[in-house]
Structure 1
Amino acid sequence: MKKLTPKQKAFADEYLKSGNATQAAIKAGYSDKSARFVGAENLTKPNIKAYIDAKMAEIESHKIADAKEVLEFLTAVMRGETKETVFVQFGKSYAEEKKEADMKTRISAAREIMKRYPGNDPLVAEQVRKLKADADSAEAKAMLNAFEVQIRQEEFGTDEDEVRTDDLASAVAEGMKGVFGDEDEIEA
């Protein structure tokens, strides 16, 4: 097993405590902005997963629920299969009544289940899609810049290259605002 970096070890230890990858990443020292992405990514790394599994095996006992048992319980709550005992007042006395979990509790259970399947998180998928689009856009701008420089050198020589490249970059940035919106910062 590949040795973990100090940050990765801190992340894994915090994840074992909280079960929350984003909070574990923040407590391990990753930036707040990248914590959600880094947390999800770290859970897919084999060496971190192996470390977490090994630590869980160390603390595993019959008194502690394993992952399967927890997921089964959360699924039963989500489906309304488990009942809780509540006491209902009738006049001056109370009666015991069995009640299904309310919708808020069911939704909470569903969210807890989905945390265990980070690959199915639509927000993470959307963030990855945006990062890829940003990278593709930056690559296209760089290629366009290089092509513009080449054309200008062929047409005008090297005297006006820098000024004309800046003009093209500004024009591309202005055009990109129409595609990506004015809020996004476009580098010229």
Structure 2
Amino acid sequence: MRLTEKQKRFADYFIETGNATQSYLRAGYKAKGNSAEVNASRLLSNAKLREYIGVRIAAKDDARIAKQDEILEFLTSVLRGQVKEQFPIGLGMGEQQLVKKELDGKDRIKAAELLGKRYAMWTDKQLLDGTVGVQLIDDIGSE
């Protein structure tokens, strides 16, 4: 993926703002009249640039969005009492101090419930077995 520095800057600004014309100008391209809009659109049709934008967006999404394994690990750690939360405790005279404590039982039960749903532990499983008759009717030539 060989892009010029200006093209990379354009792509990065476009990812940030979503505005092709503004990104074109911020990247350092010169334009007169409405040529910035036309040239920015043409630049976005460049396959290598679109690929670069796709890779960058995917990398951002990976860092930003929790994956299935991460969620399951978190729910498991809640269930096992490994997650602690901070809450204020009164010391008197209006003073408070933050202390860590294990999550309440209801939070651990909810984590167990969500994990159980994920693994379909409470779903009735029914095995249906049988034969079904099929009848074919040739009505094409009957008109």
Please state which structure has a larger fraction of its residues in helix: 1
The structure that has the greater radius of gyration is: 2
> Larger relative CO (CA 8 A, sep 6+): 1 or 2?
2
TM-score over 0.5 for the alignment? no
Please tell me the TM-score bracket, short chain as reference. Answer: 0.3 to 0.5
TM value normalised by structure 2: 0.44
TM value normalised by structure 1: 0.34
